[in-house]
Chain A
């Protein structure tokens, strides 16, 4: 919560209409620093490994890196990490096998699986092998960071709440009612799902791709502004007429819902 140089959109946003690209890009800013994660990167491509390692260190994380699959498995099994970042193709032992072996020994350290874009089946294989999330290379660094953040705060499966609260915003999952400061907000089903996801990710940045995958279950990149349109509609409903803006756009990164 250190930077506030990012621009927020005007509350009455209609500007995204018709735009086909995502939020504007800017890599200089990361509004939400979640520091001190201990991470293991198993990646043999030197430039990619360097890019990820430097980026994560800049954001205050501790990172171990190895290029060899066997070493990676050894480290992952022996040390206590907050999360693993595992590439698919590795010398020594491939990423799928690493994950399978770890999971079969009862090690459930959250893991992000890195795949290349020519393997569209890799996602399913990776998730089946025990990965918690996947990322297609090449990716924006912000995407990796956002997904790591989401992994860290993923609630246990057993933790089923019927009410979620973020600041003035309250959501009753059973009655499907949303209120802000006691005032009922009428939402379309898609907007409800979107808000639910944002509220569960309170304070964290979620990217456009994360929203497409979890709210719409779209695993491809639409050429139209599906996310932007729904975000702007949702913002008009939950923020318009209230004192503060809760749903923020992080330039070049994604969106974030916070209590302020």
Chain B
């Protein structure tokens, strides 16, 4: 038994917020009930008592008045008649003469004292009380002396009041008990339902901590608070999983792509050491090693930059950026480069297009896309930068008339280190477009690769910003 109670008290239901709230509500509910009971009890008692007093006094007065005209004999008759009529009488009478001798009535030994009195049934040695049969109740009455010195007492059994009080208490006790039980049951039911859903969230979290990354919290589709919490947590798990997977991919790519320059570096140094001939050869080897090391450092810098952009911390510094001038600056910087390569760079820019973002990163994004167009196209290519703002938002276009990208590879180009096989020969760390993708994601931009017929067209869709 004790164990059972302890088990119940220790069980988690009692520790849930929802149960505690239910218990609190039940308590407040019970207190309200009690207040209502007391008020009803007191007012009802007072009302009934007043009513009985009025009735008794009215009857007494009527009988006294009547005796003045009809005489005492008629009153005795009246009383006896009255008592005979109502077998289980609730009314009590006592009539005595001036000497104190009982003339009529169903009470004994009543002291002839005027005024209101409340006596126990036993004390008056009354006849068996009519209604209840038990002697532990009261008779309320009013006494008065008649002009001839005789004494009359009219009374009523107070059980009406007592039974009314009893009824009130009973009603309240039952309904309060029932309500309390219902409230507690409802609380239990609610907290169990709530607990179940919290449990689901906990189980899923534990599963994910455990490494089962694909687990998700079941969603009911009711879009209540817990559902929204679950949905958001699921999104969190999704993005975590995606991050983790891209991290794995990146680690694999780093291992692959950094191994090559590192082994070149080592080879070069080893060769120089082995040959040990002239100062020139040493110098050339060292210069080569520095170039290789710089490339490695640049790759690391690009990776760290991507990682930092992906972390989203730069969002705090977003400002109003003039996109038109960003594209203009890029075009100004690369126009000469394009011309020297026998290509052309044209612009078609809407004036004063503005966007909330990181100006430096947006510049780098456009610059990387432009460099991409410059580096993977042959002489004679026409490159164009354009910027337009319309009802759908802002679009920046970087297009070329080069060889383009095969459709099956168009999604992969924005991945870390991804390079088309045809581009492996050209310099670069393969991170330029990954950086573009990271910057685009930070700003909520959508990148779209289209066939420029011929060539590649990169469309950057900017959402509306306020």
Interface residues of A (CB under 8 A from B): 14, 17-18, 20-21, 24-26, 28, 117-121, 124, 136, 138, 188-190, 216-226, 229-230, 232-233, 252
Q: Which residues of B contact A252 (CB under 8 A)?
A: 287
State which of B308, B317, B367 has its C-beta within 8 Å of the C-beta of A118: B308
Q: How far is the CB of B52 from chain A (nearest CB, A)?
A: 90
Chain A residues within an 8 Å CB radius of B305: 117, 120, 220
Known: A121-B314, A218-B363, A219-B360. A230 touches B304 (CB 8 A): no
- Check B298–A17 contact: CB distance below 8 A: no
In the assembled complex, B332 has its CB within 8 A of some CB on chain A: yes
**A26 and B287 in contact, given A17-B341, A218-B367, A224-B374 (Cβ under 8 angstroms):** yes
Interface residue ranges of B335-373 to A (CB < 8 Å): 336-337, 340-341, 360, 363-364, 367-368, 371
Chain A hits for B360, CB < 8 A: 219
Instruction: Give the interface centre of B291, B340, B427 by most chain A CB atoms within 10 Å.
Output: B340
Whether A233 and B333, one on each chain, are in contact in the complex, defined by CB atoms closer than 8 angstroms, is no
**In the docked arrangement, what's the CA distance between A94 and B123, Å?**
100
Contacting pair A190 B304 (CB below 8 A): no
Q: Is B143 an interface residue (CB 8 A)?
A: no
Bound-state Cα–Cα, A112 to B304, Å: 22
Chain B residues in 8 Å Cβ range of A14: 340
B367–A21 contact, CB under 8 A? Answer: no
**Does any Cβ of A come within 8 Å of B41's Cβ?**
no
Task: For A117, give its contact among B301, B314, B341 (CB under 8 Å).
Answer: B301
User: Are B300 and A117 interface neighbours, CB within 8 A?
Assistant: yes
On whether the beta carbons of B334 and A224 are closer than 8 Å, the reply is yes
Could you say which of A25, A118, A119, A217 contacts B291, with CB atoms under 8 Å apart? A25
Minimal beta-carbon separation of B327 from chain A (angstroms): 14
- Does B297 contact A224, Cβ atoms closer than 8 Å? no
The 10 A-B pairs at the shortest CB distance, nearest first, are namely A118-B304, A117-B301, A20-B427, A25-B287, A229-B337, A17-B340, A229-B336, A220-B364, A224-B371, A226-B333
The residues of B that contact A26 with a CB separation of less than 8 Å are 283, 287
Q: Please indicate the chain B residues that have their CB under 8 angstroms from the CB of A25 in the complex.
A: 287, 290-291
Chain A to chain B contacts (Cβ below 8 Å), 9 pairs = A17-B340, A25-B287, A25-B291, A136-B301, A190-B336, A223-B371, A223-B432, A224-B374, A229-B336
CA separation between A25 and B301, bound complex, in Å? 20
- A117 and B304: CB pair below 8 A? yes
What distance in Å separates the Cβ of A229 from its nearest Cβ neighbour in chain B? 5
- Asked if A226 and B334 make an inter-chain contact with CB atoms under 8 angstroms apart, the answer reads yes
When distances are taken between beta carbons in the complex, the residues of chain B under 8 Å from A233 are 336
| B446 beta carbon closer than 8 Å to chain A | no
Contact with A along B303-327 (1 / 0, CB 8 A): 0110110000110010000000000
B375 interface residue, CB < 8 Å from A?
yes
Return the contact of A21 from the options B317, B371, B427 (Cβ within 8 A): B427
B375 touches A224 (CB 8 A): yes
| Alpha-carbon distance between A20 and B427 when the two chains are bound, in angstroms | 7
A24 with B337: CB separation less than 8 A = no
Complex contacts, A216 vs chain B, CB 8 Å: 329, 333
List, in ascending order, chain B residues with CB within 8 A of A119's CB.
Answer: 308
Q: Which residues of A contact B332 (CB under 8 A)?
A: 189-190
- Give residues of chain B (240-296) contacting chain A, Cβ–Cβ below 8 Å: 283, 287, 290-291
User: Min CB distance, A219 to chain B, in Å?
Assistant: 6
- Residue numbers of B with Cβ under 8 A of A are 283, 287, 290-291, 297-298, 300-301, 304-305, 307-308, 313-314, 317, 329, 332-334, 336-337, 340-341, 360, 363-364, 367-368, 371, 374-375, 427-428, 432
A120 vs B313: C-alpha distance when bound (angstroms): 10
Closest Cβ of chain A to B250, distance in Å, is 15
B283 to chain A, nearest CB (A): 8
Give bound CA distance, A150 to B314, whole Å.
Answer: 30
Select which of A21, A120, A221, A230 is within 8 A of B308 by beta carbon.
A120
A252 to B428 Cα, complex, angstroms? 20
- B308 to chain A: closest residue by CB: A120
Q: Which of B287, B334, B336, B371 has the most CB of A within 10 A?
A: B336
Most chain B Cβ neighbours within 10 Å, of A224, A229, A232: A224
Contacts of A230 in B (CB 8 A): 336
CB distance from A197 to the nearest CB of B (A): 14
Known contacts A216-B329, A217-B329; A225/B337 CB under 8 A: yes
B residues near A222, Cβ cutoff 8 Å: 333, 367, 371
Contact A138 B333, CB 8 Å, known A118-B308, A222-B367, A223-B427: no
With a cutoff of 8 Å between Cβ atoms, the chain B residues found around residue A138 in the complex are 297
Other than A18-B341, A224-B337, give 14 A-B pairs with Cβ distance below 8 A.
Answer: A117-B304, A118-B308, A119-B308, A120-B314, A190-B332, A190-B333, A217-B329, A221-B298, A222-B333, A222-B371, A223-B368, A223-B371, A224-B334, A229-B337
* Chain B residue at smallest Cβ distance from A193: B332
Considering only CB atoms, which chain B residue lies closest to A252 in the complex?
Answer: B287
Residue of B nearest to A123 (CB): B360
Q: Specify the chain B residue showing the minimal Cβ separation from A118.
A: B304
- Kindly report which residue of chain B lies nearest to residue A190, judged by CB atoms: B332
A77–B107 Cα gap in the complex (Å)?
Answer: 115
Name the A residues within 8 Å of B307 (CB-CB).
118
Kindly list chain B residues whose C-beta atoms are within 8 Å of the C-beta of A18.
340-341
Measured CA separation A17–B332 after assembly (Å): 17
What is the minimal beta-carbon distance from B306 to any residue of chain A, in angstroms? 10
Residues of B within 8 A of A229 (CB): 336-337, 340
A139's closest neighbor in chain B, by CB?
B297
Residue of B nearest to A17 (CB): B340
Within 8 Å CB of A118, what residues of B? 304, 307-308
- In the complex, which residues of chain A have a beta carbon less than 8 angstroms from the beta carbon of B291? 21, 25
Nearest Cβ distance between residue A148 and chain B, in whole angstroms?
21
**Bound Cα distance from A118 to B305, whole angstroms:** 7
Q: Which chain A residues border B337 with CB–CB below 8 Å?
A: 224-226, 229
Chain B's nearest CB lies how many Å from the CB of A48?
14
Determine which of A20, A21, A121, A221 lies in contact with B313 in the assembled complex, contact meaning CB atoms within 8 Å.
Answer: A121
Q: How far is the CA of A219 from the CA of B340 in the complex (A)?
A: 23
Q: Within the complex, what minimum Cβ distance (angstroms) separates A135 from chain B?
A: 13
Closest Cβ–Cβ distance, residue A117 to chain B (whole Å): 4
Minimal Cβ-Cβ distance residue in B for A136 = B301
**Bound: A25/B290 CA distance, A:** 8
CA A252 to CA B291, docked complex, whole Å: 10
Minimum CB–CB distance for B312 against chain A, Å: 12
A138-B297, A218-B367 given; A223·B340 CB < 8 A: no
